[in-house]
């Protein structure tokens, strides 16, 4: 039953998050992602690598607010918790990073994606 529920969560989380498409079109977000200033985290939220400027922190905060709203909506529709939906999305978002992009590894360190698969939490399927 747990595997089936996780599969359902994974399918829901794979759907485009409202606001994410808009954020990805933002030139400041694209530049920060390409420059390694932001990265995906296992909890499903975007993180600032290092201190970051106030403008960058505000951008990341705005994106994370949109993500939480999307996770909340999808969690309510599926019967999952917001945390489960966010974690499943984090697994997928880290898997979707491209070489050169940053992500947070299971040990908490920031890593740069190489040509191979990123390191993900062992609970990710």
- Over residues 104-108, the mean pLDDT reads 95
What is the side-by-side strand order in the sheet with 46-48? Answer: 46-48, 38-40, 102-104, 110-112
Query: Are the beta carbons of 68 and 44 closer than 8 angstroms?
Result: no
Tell me the C-alpha distance between 76 and 123, whole Å.
22
Using 50, 70 and 90 to split pLDDT, how confident is the model at 8? Answer: very low
pLDDT score for 4: 42
Tell me the C-alpha distance between 90 and 21, whole Å.
16
Q: What digits encode the pLDDT tens for the residues 28-68?
A: 999 999 999 999 999 999 999 999 999 999 999 999 999 99
DSSP letter for 46, please.
E
Does residue 14 register a pLDDT over 70?
no
**Across-strand partners of 112?**
102
User: What's the burial of 52, exposed, middle or buried (CB within 10 Å: 0-12/13-18/19+)?
Assistant: middle
Would you list the domain boundaries of the chain? 2-112
Query: Are the beta carbons of 67 and 46 closer than 8 angstroms?
Result: yes
Using 50, 70 and 90 to split pLDDT, how confident is the model at 18? Answer: very low
Q: What digits encode the pLDDT tens for the residues 61-99?
A: 999 999 999 999 999 999 999 999 999 999 999 999 999
Least confident of 12-16, 81-85, 112-116: 12-16
- Over residues 89-115, the mean pLDDT reads 96
């Amino acid at each position: 039953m747990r595997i089936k529920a996780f599969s359902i969560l994974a399918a829901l989380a794979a759907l485009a998050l409202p606001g994410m498409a808009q954020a990805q079109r933002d030139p400041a977000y694209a530049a920060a992602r390409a420059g390694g200033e932001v990265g995906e985290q296992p909890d499903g939220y975007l993180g600032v690598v290092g201190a970051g400027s106030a403008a960058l922190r505000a951008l990341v905060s705005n994106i994370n607010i949109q993500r939480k709203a999307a996770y909340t909506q999808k969690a309510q529709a599926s019967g999952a918790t917001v945390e489960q939906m966010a974690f499943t999305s984090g697994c997928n978002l880290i898997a979707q990073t491209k070489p050169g992009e940053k992500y947070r590894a299971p040990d908490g360190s920031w890593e740069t994606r190489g040509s191979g698969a990123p390191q993900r939490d062992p609970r990710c399927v």
